[in-house]
Amino acid sequence: MSDFMSGLRISGSGLSAQRARMNTISSNIANINTTRTPEGGPYRRKDVVFESMPDAASFGDVMGVNDPKSDFQRVQVTDVVYDKKAPILKYDPSHADANEDGYVAYPNVNLMEEMTNMIQATRSYEANVQAIQASKDMALSALEIGR
């Protein structure tokens, strides 16, 4: 039963991580033309940082007293970082946020890159859903054998 639960925990962590990534991508796309933020200046693109963590269900698992061969890794979001790229300057002297030379600083958000990231996050999410479904199907099949 523990292997069944490990698979569910690992796939569940993948679902959570990809959901956080999708939220960040959505924020980037929504703010693609935001030239003013509370911090000042244009919106800065964000990206999530994933980290693999040992899959631990109990205190014993955390302390390593269980099977040392089971080094399954789950994923978690450890940080959301800001893109350090400079904003894109566009000439628009009539814009309210134009500088003295008539240039407006726009976020350095590339729509094609964000759409590609969104497709990748969606596919990863779907793969984790399918892994959970396969685990569930295997468990149900095992229960059917016992009847």
CA distance 112 to 41: 23
Q: What is the chain's mean pLDDT, rounded?
A: 88
Written as one letter, the residue type at 86 is: A
pLDDT in tens, 130-146: 999 998 888 888 888 87
| 2-30 and 111-145 helices, crossing angle to 10° | 160
Q: Answer yes or no: are the C-beta atoms of 109 and 28 closer than 8 Å.
A: yes
Which stretches of the chain drop beneath a pLDDT of 50? Answer: 1, 65
Tokens for 94? 């009539």
Q: Could you tell me the pTM of the whole model?
A: 0.81
